[in-house]
């Protein structure tokens, strides 16, 4: 008998039929003798709908009020799932993030988890009930409701699995695992049976939205094995866990893409110690999450810096950078949201030269211009025009024979 955390994403609970199918699966898992803690997301596109409502009434959106609004979606799901479980004679109890003891900082709309208490969940388990926890939410040290950022139910699930010492955290979604590319763009993509935390981190960070990045960080830091699988076929999916050294490592495991970021270019910046520090400190102080950064070698004592930020943060990034421009000697600041990023991820890249060259040749063969490049030991990313993203992903998937 094991303790399992089972997380069901919005795509798994789009309507009440799906909610009943999920309840059936939870009941089945219990019949197999396991203890289950369930984490559930808002139904279908509920969170997007709630954001649309907010946009309809206001351009000013205080984070505290947005969080109060957005947490409502997950609350509906927990109650409905408990009702569906009651119908099957499975004792269950719904919990908001706050009731589950998920304590966060006060950064509304993207709060960080500080502590998970979980005693009420342990009590429910001891009473033989299935705790059903609202994903994506917590309560701040100031006792306000917070959310963990889009896709945050994954993080809730992993945090609970770590706290409760679960054997595994099962992430149920609408695809049967983590694929060699987004199956919506590359129909021939194949399911990866196993990934290391490092590879999954790079996949999540570079746009493979099947798992939220912070959930993978949490899983790696607390050694929680993840099992990403389908709530439609229930077949075994992709395991994400500690690297298995005996396994032959693929040179390239996946091609990912991300169109959620924009590019900021600062031209003619003084090439002196402390300039970059001031710019990126000012952005950090406004909680802008800067991703790729490229700086040119300087010519005549000045240089250009380009960086990417989430599209939602473009306006504030431009404001901060333009304000600072006179102090850092910048002659111009421009923003461009018509960009996207394609990346190759693979643990075997470390030891195989030539991957970069093949990537650049493939993009050039498609007539695609590369605007920014960044690498880690197991990832190469290129920023290209938005309309070049899909052809780039398809061409790379083929060039690296991932089908
Ligand atoms: P959920 O509602 O279950 O959280 P998400 O929409 O957040 O679902 O994540 C699942 C989606 O992630 C899939 O439908 C798929 O289109 C997308 N996706 C992107 N990249 C990948 C990948 N490499 N492997 C699998 N799915 C991916
Ligand atoms: N409902 C939230 C979102 O759509 C959280 C999640 O689904 O993980 O982002
Ligand atoms: Mg998700």
DSSP assignments along 197-214, one per residue: HHHHHHHHHTT-TTS-HH
What was the pLDDT predicted at 300? 83
**Does residue 174's CB lie within 6 angstroms of at least one atom of ligand 1?**
yes
**Does residue 352's CB lie within 6 angstroms of at least one atom of ligand 1?**
no
Q: What is the pTM of this model?
A: 0.93
Cα angle, residue 73 at apex, residues 69 and 77 outer, rounded to 5°:
155
**Does residue 258's CB lie within 6 angstroms of at least one atom of ligand 1?**
no
What was the pLDDT predicted at 247? 62
Specify the fold of 3-174. Carbamate kinase (3.40.1160)
Q: Confidence class of residue 96 from pLDDT cuts 50, 70 and 90?
A: very high
**Does residue 11's CB lie within 6 angstroms of at least one atom of ligand 1?**
yes
Ligand nearest to the CA of 231: 1
Residues touching ligand 2 (Cβ under 6 Å) are 9-10, 41-42, 47, 73, 135-136, 150-154
Query: What's the pLDDT tens digit per position in 369-393?
Result: 999 999 999 999 999 999 999 999 9
Grouping H, G, I as helix, E, B as strand and the rest as coil, residue 126 is: helix
Residue ranges with strand state E in 181-253: 194-196, 226-230, 238-241
- Residue 388's Cβ-count burial label (10 Å; 0-12, 13-18, 19+) is buried
Share of the chain above pLDDT 70, in %: 99
């Amino acid at each position: 008998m094991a303790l399992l955390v089972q997380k069901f994403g919005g795509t798994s609970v789009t309507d009440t039929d799906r909610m009943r199918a999920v309840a059936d699966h939870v009941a089945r898992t219990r019949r197999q003798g396991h203890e289950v803690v369930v984490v559930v997301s808002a139904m279908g596109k509920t969170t997007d709908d709630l954001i649309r409502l907010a946009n309809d009434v206001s351009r000013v959106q205080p984070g505290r009020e947005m969080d109060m609004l957005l947490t409502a979606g997950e609350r509906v799901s927990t109650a409905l799932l408990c009702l569906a479980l009651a119908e099957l004679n499975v004792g269950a109890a719904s919990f908001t993030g706050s009731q589950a003891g998920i304590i966060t900082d006060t950064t509304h709309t993207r709060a960080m988890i500080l502590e998970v208490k979980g005693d009420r969940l342990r009590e429910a388990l001891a009473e033989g009930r299935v705790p059903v926890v609202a994903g994506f939410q917590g309560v701040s040290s100031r006792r306000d409701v917070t959310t963990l950022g889009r896709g945050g139910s994954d993080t809730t699930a992993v945090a609970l699995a770590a706290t409760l010492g679960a054997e595994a955290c099962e992430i149920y979604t609408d695809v049967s695992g983590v694929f060699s590319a987004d199956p919506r763009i590359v129909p021939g993509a194949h399911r990866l049976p196993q990934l290391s935390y490092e590879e999954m981190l790079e996949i999540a960070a570079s746009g493979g939205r099947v798992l939220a990045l912070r959930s993978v960080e949490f899983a790696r830091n607390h050694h929680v094995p993840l099992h990403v699988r389908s709530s439609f076929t229930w077949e075994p999916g992709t395991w994400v866990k500690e690297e298995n050294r005996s396994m032959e490592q693929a040179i390239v495991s996946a091609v990912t893409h991300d169109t959620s970021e924009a590019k900021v270019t600062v031209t003619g910046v003084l090439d002196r110690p402390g300039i970059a520090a001031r710019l990126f400190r000012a952005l950090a102080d406004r909680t802008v999450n800067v991703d790729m950064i490229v700086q040119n070698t300087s010519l005549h004592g000045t240089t250009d810096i380009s960086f990417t930020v989430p599209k939602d943060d473009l306006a504030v990034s431009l404001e901060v950078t333009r304000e600072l421009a006179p102090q850092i000697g910048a002659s111009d600041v421009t923003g461009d949201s018509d960009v996207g990023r394609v990346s190759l991820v693979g643990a075997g890249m470390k030891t195989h030269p030539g991957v970069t060259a093949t990537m650049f040749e493939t993009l050039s063969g498609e007539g695609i211009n590369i605007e920014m490049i960044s690498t880690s030991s197991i990832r190469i990313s290129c920023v290209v025009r938005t309309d070049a993203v899909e052809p780039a992903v398809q061409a790379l998937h083929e060039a690296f024979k991932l089908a």
